[in-house]
Structure formats: structure tokens, C-alpha cells
């Protein structure tokens, strides 16, 4: 089979992968590219089919499970308000279980105490434990009097 037929097959499989995102068609497209190279070298149809089968099997058995495992992992970096969890903040207005204000990363955030019994005074340093909407849930860095 001519090498350009394998290229057309690879393009069609690549397009199918674009719409399905299963990693199967993409790996088969790669196998078709291998078959195109083998055909371009001048190997006969049997050799092309063996190359296609070997590349497809290697991709589906070896590459796909590794790729799926990596896609399931959580990103190492946090974005948006998740990046603020664990940061230190300064109390600008007394923080209680229901209201308060802290300066966090140069911005003022509404805040409330993680422990409902804590009243955190102005000027105290706190750690951000959670973010709920636009409210930082904080806990004092030092013991309160």
C-alpha cells in the first residue's frame, strides 16, 4: 500500500481522536504513521501491517495506561483562591465566628474564625485554613489570651 494512504489514515484517526479524546484513535494514528514510514522505505504490505500492529499494540498496552494515570493526577500548582490556603494574613478588623476582615496577599478579605469560640484581635497573624466564596476561614498563628 502506498505511504500516502497511511498518512491519510493517520490524519483521519487523528481527527477522530480530536473529537473523542479517548487516546485510542491518537495511538492508532501514530501506528499508521509508523506504517507510512515503513511503506516509504519500500517494505511490502505484510511488513507494513506487522509494523502497524506492533506500534498499535505497544501504544495501547504500554503508553495508554501511563497517559491515563498521569491525566488522573491532580495538578501540583493551585490556582485562584485555592492558592491562598495555607497563607499568612493579618487581622484588620476583629475576626469572630461570623465576621471579620483580614489582609491577605495585599488584599482585604472578609473572614471568620475556624474555631467558633475564638475572637481574634486586630493585628494578630492568622493562617488561612479554607476559602468559602469570598470569605477566608482563619486560625490564629499564636495562642490567644
Q: Can you give 46-115 as a three-state secondary structure string?
A: HHHHHHHHHHHHHHHHHHHHHHHHHHHCCCCCCCHHHHHCCCEEEEEECECCCCCEEEECCEEEEEEECC
pLDDT at 145: 58
pLDDT at 6: 95
Q: Can you list the domains of the chain with their CATH numbers?
A: 1-71 (no CATH), 80-138 (2.40.50.140)
Q: What's 139's DSSP letter?
A: E
pLDDT at 73: 83
Cα–Cα dist 1/111, whole Å:
69
DSSP string for 119-135: -BPTT-EEEEEEEETTE
pLDDT at 144: 62
pLDDT at 17: 93
Could you report the per-residue pLDDT of 29-71, keeping only the tens digit for each?
999 999 999 999 999 999 999 999 999 999 999 998 998 888 8
With a cut of 70, which residues of the chain have pLDDT below it?
78, 144-145
Q: Name 15's Cβ contacts closer than 8 Å, sequence gap at least 6.
A: none
Amino acid at each position: 500500500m502506498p505511504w500516502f494512504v497511511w498518512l491519510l489514515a493517520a490524519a483521519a484517526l487523528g481527527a477522530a481522536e480530536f473529537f473523542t479524546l479517548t487516546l485510542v484513535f491518537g495511538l492508532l494514528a501514530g501506528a499508521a504513521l509508523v506504517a507510512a514510514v515503513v511503506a516509504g522505505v519500500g517494505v511490502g504490505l505484510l511488513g507494513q501491517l506487522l509494523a502497524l500492529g506492533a506500534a498499535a499494540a505497544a501504544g495501547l498496552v504500554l503508553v495508554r495506561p501511563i497517559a491515563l494515570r498521569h491525566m488522573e493526577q491532580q495538578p501540583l500548582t493551585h490556582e485562584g483562591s485555592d492558592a491562598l490556603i495555607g497563607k499568612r494574613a493579618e487581622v484588620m478588623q476583629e475576626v469572630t465566628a461570623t465576621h471579620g476582615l483580614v489582609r491577605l496577599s495585599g488584599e482585604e478579605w472578609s473572614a471568620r474564625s475556624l474555631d467558633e469560640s475564638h475572637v481574634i484581635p486586630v493585628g494578630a497573624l492568622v493562617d488561612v485554613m479554607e476559602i468559602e466564596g469570598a470569605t477566608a476561614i482563619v486560625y490564629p498563628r499564636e495562642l490567644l489570651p
